Amino acid sequence: MSDIETLEVVEIDESTLTDEDRPWKVIVWNDPINLMVYVTFVLQKLFGYSKEKATKMMMDVHEKGRAVVASGTRTEAERDVKRLHTHGLWATMEHDE
Amino acid sequence: MVDRQRDGTYAITFPDHIRQLLVGLSRQLDGALDTDDDPSLARLFPTAYAHDAERDAGYQVFARGELIEHRREAIALLAETAERGTLDEDELTAWMHVVNDVRLVLGTVLDVGEDTDMVDPEHPQADLHDLYHILGAVLYEIVNGLSEGLPDDDQLDDEMSIDLGDD
């Protein structure tokens, strides 16, 4: 998604990573109750995403059933999941593959 | 019915019966928050770890209490400001949380699907369906109002571009 093309790709030995280091994905799942405008608003508010980006994520949730909305350490992901739960969104977290 | 004003506050013009409805429903929600294992509240306390029951149990231990506390604060703020014509952002956000939480419970009770629209007036739960749609309309107004307070897209740099300023 980034325009920056000069990022160096670093090979990481996955076996040495602990749960804390390994990236966790925060996922929002489709649900029939939450309003689309509400989901977009929450993503904008919590993550500072533009309306365009948040709307695209919301449409992915709506049409594909889920979207990754953030990623980070386990602690960061858990914090984000809780913020989403506070807003009534159906969010879970899982390991990055 | 929710208009952001120049000073950053919000003019609220919901009619009295809607305000009373919100206060009544928020009281019911407050009472329900103490019940454990009520399936209609499932959406208020979702699973965090979909594939790890043990870790999820750990999450629920600390998150459930915080989620209840956050909801009680929103309910209290709504009750305090229910009759006001002007709300600040925190107060309107509390209204948003309460309306959405009640919708989540109601939607769970009614088992709504993607294509649930108006039901037949003779439907045994027609009143609850009406209520669900009224809350949807109220939430829509609140979210649109609060969205006016978000930064415009051109003020954000999603793509992590760096503003180098003028040459």
Report whether pLDDT(B162) > 60.
no
- Nearest chain A CA: its distance from B151 CA (Å): 8
**Is the CB of B109 inside 8 Å of chain A's CB atoms?**
no
How much is the pTM?
Answer: 0.87
Report whether pLDDT(B72) > 90.
yes
- Set of chain B residues whose Cβ sits within 8 Å of the Cβ of A1: 158-159
Mean pLDDT computed over B123-152: 94
Output the DSSP codes for B94-144: HHHHHHHHHHHHHHHHHT--TT--PPPTTSTTHHHHHHHHHHHHHHHHHHH
pLDDT of residue B163: 47
Tokens 């405008």, residue?
A: A37
Point out the residue among A37, A52, A94 whose CB comes nearest to the CB of B50.
Answer: A94
**Band of the pLDDT at B165, cuts 50, 70, 90?**
very low
**Is the CB of B101 inside 8 Å of chain A's CB atoms?**
yes
Q: Which residues of chain A have pLDDT under 50?
A: 2
- Nearest chain B CA: its distance from A13 CA (Å): 24
Domains of chain A in sequence order: 19-95 (3.30.1390.10)
Distance between CA A7 and CA A45 in Å, rounded?
Answer: 28
**Band of the pLDDT at B161, cuts 50, 70, 90?**
very low
- Nearest chain B CA: its distance from A65 CA (Å): 12
Q: Which strand ranges, in their side-by-side order, compose the sheet holding B2-4?
A: B2-4, B10-12, B86-87
pLDDT of residue B125: 87
